[in-house]
Structure formats: C-alpha cells, structure tokens
A and B are shown apart, each in its own frame.
Chain A
C-alpha cells in the first residue's frame, strides 16, 4: 500500500509539472497556428513585425481568440491601405496561454526571437503584471488590448493600454441599473478572486454601490475555474438582493448568471468586463437575457473606420464584433499610425531595432487616433484617454439560443 501512496504522492506534483510544461509548450507550439517568420525573412520581405501575445489556448482562449480575430482584421485592413507608407506590416502571434508563465514565454519569444517592434498583449491584467515588466526592461513598447486593472500603465514607461480602466467604465453599469429600476436597494457582489482584473473591478463596483447609497448585503467569491456556484448563489439569494454584480470571465460568469436564475433569483444582474463578450451567450443562453454590461465599444459607432471593421468582422464571424476584437484592432492601429509618422521622418525599416522601439514608444504616446473605439489618445504615462462609454443589455431571441448586446440610450 505504501508503494501506492508514494505513487499517488508523486503523481500530484507530476500533474502540475506536466500542466505547466504543456502551457509553455503550447506557447512555442503555437507556431503551428501562427506565422513566425524570422527577422531576416521579415527584412527580406520588408515587412515590419508587430507582436501579438494573447491567449490562444487555455480557459482564457475565449477572449484571446476574439483578440486574434481583431488583430488579423487590422493587419489586413492596414496592409490594404498601404501599410507603413508602402511597407507592409506582419503580425507575429505567440500564444500566452492563460497564465503568467505562458505570457512571459510568449513575450520573451516576441522580443528576442521574433524581434518585433512592439507587442499588443497580453489578454489578462494578471498576465500583464508579470510579462509587461520584461518588455519594459527590454525597451519594447507594449499596448494592452484588454488589461483594465488598476496600475497597468504604471508598470513602466514602455507600457500603454487602449483598454479604458475599470474605474471609468464599471460605474456606468450601476447607474444604468438604477435608471431602469430606481427601487434597487440591496446588492450582492460576486467576484473571481484568482483574477487580478476581477479583484480590481469588484473594488470599483463595491465603491460605486457605496457611493450610490445602496446596501451591499454580501460579497461572494469564486474562482475562474469553478463550474458550480450553488453555494455562493444560494447564500446570496437568501439575503434577497435586488441587484447582483458579477466580476469574472465569460465561462464562470455565464455559469453564475445561469445558476442564479435557475435557483430563483429574479433581480437585475450586472456583468463586468470579463462577461463583455458574445461568448457568454452560449453559456447562459435564454437566462442571459437582461444582463447589463458597461462597454468601452459600440459596434454602431458611426465612423467610417469602425463601420469597415464591423463589416469585415461580420463577414467573417456572422456576428457583431466584440469589444476585445475592437480593442486589439485599435492596439495594432496605434502602432501602425505611430510607425507611419516615424517613417515620414526616416525610413523605419532602415532604423536599428532598439532605436526604433524607443522612438515608437515616444511617438505612440503623442498621437491621437480615430479607432473603432472612437477617438483615443494617451496620457504621458500610457493611460488611454477615451471619450465615449456605453452600457449594453443582453437581449436574447425567442429561441433562447441567439442574442445580442443592445445599447442603452
């Protein structure tokens, strides 16, 4: 028996080890699904390499795949428009997986092996806190496409983001809920405690609840990997809240919405930014109906660029572009437009890489960009300055299978 016990005891670290190895191997293995030409090939073709380090695998891949779609559309769009004054851009994809180690590996590969001029990524704030300092030390500009936690631009001078911080976006949803139902008094808050972004977001939500003089009756915690929320849901329902606010990711957040409704919760539900994806719809299906989510992107934003982006996305995916795709598109756009300005001063393809990376970082912080998100610019620290925010409500079709985000006036 002792042999068996030892065997089991040995197996547990083994699983974790192999689990980790798998993540890093999928990072490098992602070359199967991505294009990773060498620097020499790039220079031979004359293309400017821009790195995309997002989660193509793991449970975060739901979001990462949306980002990949947005980046690819940007590459196609800007190359059709002539790239960097005639020189095409080439996106190099490295899979970060869903954890910090994967993000670090992907960033190192993009910086040292693929020799990119800048990186759009990673998917999660949690990953950004680990991987961005590596790019910052190597003086490679990073644009976070979906990192909304507090403190991201403060990681270093080479770190910026196009994703508006949660402190600006999140309170809009609570205000919209109160506008729809002014009788809301009791609020239950749920958040994924193993995710830096969700923790950061819930603090903002909880502060907003207090600022609006509402009664925070319970704060329930879960993990992004959880699937069963019966304990948290029933604990909250027993306190009879009028509003439930969820900060998590699509799969866990969607499941929580579903289980809250199935267990009899009838009040309003607000989803955080992690639920801000149509990938949440297949999870809670008809029960997603009515969920309110604050938005940094509206597909109906009337600019010509956004409508081209929307049309291209719809042609490919038969649905409205999600926020993460639009933000990644905007991230690539910022690099392209900043490179264009530099290229007009002196040909960027002839510049030494280290010099180009530093110049690119300085230039991108100076510009104003008309992106699918609307007009954006950056503070000297790298924080995005965005004009318009929205609140959307999920409306499911009668069949309970398809649905869409309808924007509240």
Chain B
C-alpha cells in the first residue's frame, strides 16, 4: 500500500466515521440517562433531514400525500437546521411521553421499552413514506455556499481528495463533542443530569425534577439527530424514508465499541469503525457490516465496557 493510498484511507475513514459518530451521539445521550437504547433515533434522524429539506424550500416529488408541496418561504440553511432540530426535539419529547414514560412508570422491563422504541421507529418511517413517497431528495448544490465540492489533501500528481461536506461533518462532530462534554461536566444542568443518570430516585429526593431532565435529554437527542440527518442528507441525499435505519444498526456497533453512555466513546467508536471500514478492500466491501458487528461481538467478549467506557458505567 502506497503512502498516498494509506492517507486516503485514513481520511476516508475519518470522514465516514464522523457520520457514524454524530449519529451515535444521539443514542448515547438517551442511554446515558435511561440505560435504554432509543431505536427511534434513526427515524428521527431521517425526519430531521426531511424537515430541513422542506424548510429550505425544497419541493416534494409526485408521490405521497404531500406531493408537489413547497413552502412559500425558503429559509437559509442555518436557520432551517435550527428549526428542524427544534421540531425533531419536540417529536422526541412526544416519543418519550408516548413510548417511554408509560412503560417506565409501570416499571416495565427495559427490553419492552426497546421494542416500544422500535415500534415508534417503524411508525415514523411508514408515515414519512405515506406523506412524501419513497423518492430521493437532494439538498441544493449551494447548500454550503460557494465552497468547492472537494479539497485535495495531496499533490496534483498524487491527489487525496476529500469531499468538503465530509470535512464539515467532521468539524461539526468535533464541536458537538466538545460542547456536550463541557455542558455535562462543567454546568449545573449537566451535573444534575449526571445525578439523574446515577440514581433517579436519589436525584429526585435532592430536589431535581427527574422527568424534566429526561424530557430535556430527549429534546437534545432529537435536535442532534436532526442535525446529523441533515448533514448526512446534504452529503449523500435523503435516500428515502428508510435512510436512517441502516445508520441505526451501525450506530449500535459504534456505541458498544466506544463504551455505552460515553460521549467521547461515541466519537472514538465512530471514527474507529469508519477507519476499519475504509481499509476493507473493495472486493470484500459486502462484508463491511459483518466486520463492524464482528468487532462489536469481540468487544463484548473482551472489553464489555467498550474502548472508553468504565467497568462501573459512569453514565453521561
């Protein structure tokens, strides 16, 4: 393997891995506070991408109930992402109210909540298909202004091109990681969230409104899901309502590899899986998922707490 190919694979891996990381952060947040994986996150990720697309003035195709719908206003990308994140956050709050809270109140087995979240995921995905059809929607070419389509990290003779949008996703993952880590560890709200994650009953005896924090966590996870969905959608198009489901499975491998409930773990896990996949030769590319899940199983056997998790799980 030449140095150029090696560097190309590393950069490809980092750019793909940052997509996995940004997705897995949403899983991690909810897991850190409830100890449950919210499988509806993939559907919210998809929903957020559609929200941003329509808020930017994108018109839908000729299938579905909203065929040919176009909003009279077209928001700039940044504003559309913020609004889409807020809407998706509210959807996540509704999911918490309808699919999580009733089961939690009854002290149901966590597995039932997982199944309930899967049910919500399929309802959302089918609803999206009913409303807008299965067509692919692509964000406008000028979504990121006049930035070039790709940046060459090599020379003219030995180019190492990386798509600009992937660099943006990598940057956003880094900013979110820093922001969330600071928020959880250095703010009063973050510490209260850690207390809820540690022991909701004790936290509530200490005067912390646990339900409020759980709702807030779902909102943040929905917001991040929409942001991730939008960024990935702007990179590879919104490939229909099932778009987020594939990422959902990969996100699972990422958080187990990185350490369940660990925010830096989600990022490290995402980048690690991205890089491993990039080094899989193309003749074996069909087995990329198998390799990701083989790593997951190996990790469960050898280091169940993941790369950055602790044997006594430190939530949040």
Contact = CB atoms under 8 A, between A and B. Distances in A.
Interface of A: 1-2, 4-5, 7-12, 14-15, 18-19, 22, 26, 57-59, 61-62, 64-65, 193-194, 219-223, 225-228, 230-232, 234-235, 237-238, 250-252, 254-255, 258-259, 261-264, 279, 282-286, 316-318, 400-401
Contacts of B245: 19
Greatest chain B CB density within 10 A among A1, A250, A254 is at A1
A14 B248 CA distance: 13
Given A2-B304, A62-B134, A225-B246, 16 more contacts: A11-B252, A12-B249, A18-B115, A18-B118, A58-B134, A61-B134, A61-B240, A62-B240, A65-B133, A193-B285, A230-B15, A231-B277, A254-B237, A255-B236, A263-B149, A283-B136
A401 B311 CA distance: 53
A286 B141 CA distance: 8
Nearest to A316: B62
A251 B129 CA distance: 16
B66 to A, nearest CB: 15
Interface in B231-278: 232, 235-237, 239-240, 242, 245-246, 248-249, 252, 256, 260, 277-278
Given A228-B16, A282-B138, A221 B236 contact: no
Contact of B282 (A11, A227, A235, A261): A235
B11 to A, nearest CB: 9
19 contacts: A1-B304, A7-B110, A9-B300, A15-B248, A15-B249, A22-B122, A61-B133, A62-B136, A65-B63, A193-B286, A194-B286, A221-B283, A223-B288, A230-B166, A258-B237, A262-B150, A282-B137, A317-B62, A401-B140
Given A65-B63, A230-B16, A255-B237, A238 B39 contact: no
Given A8-B256, A228-B16, A254-B237, A15 B118 contact: yes
A231 B248 CA distance: 21
Given A22-B122, A231-B9, A318-B62, A279 B256 contact: no
A221 B285 contact: yes
Contact of A10 (B111, B149, B159): B111
A401 B240 CA distance: 18
Contacts of A264: 150, 152, 159, 161
Contacts of B135: 62, 65, 279, 282
Given A14-B118, A231-B9, A254 B136 contact: yes
Contacts of A254: 136, 237
Nearest to B245: A19
A231 to B, nearest CB: 5
Where chain A touches its partner, the secondary structure class is helix
A231 B313 contact: no
Given A259-B163, A263-B163, A26 B39 contact: no
Nearest to A56: B134
Contacts of A230: 12, 15-16, 162-163, 166
B126 interface: yes
Nearest to B233: A227
B233 to A, nearest CB: 10
A263 B286 CA distance: 23
A258 B141 CA distance: 11
Contacts of B294: none
Contacts, number: 167
A4 B118 contact: no
Contacts of A64: 134
Nearest to A98: B242
Pick the 5 closest A-B CB pairs, nearest first.
Answer: A61-B134, A227-B236, A262-B149, A251-B239, A263-B161
B61 interface: yes
Interface string B42-81: 0000000000000000000111000000000000000000
Interface in B86-135: 110-111, 114-115, 118, 122, 126, 129, 133-135
Nearest to B137: A282
Given A18-B118, A57-B129, A279-B136, A1 B39 contact: no
Contacts of A62: 134-136, 240
B293 interface: yes
Contacts of B285: 193, 220-223, 226, 231-232
Interface string B155-196: 000011111001000000000000000000000000000000
A112 B307 CA distance: 53
A1 B161 contact: no
Contacts of A58: 134, 242
Nearest to A193: B286
Contacts of A8: 37, 252, 256, 260, 300
B134 A227 contact: no
A5 B311 CA distance: 12
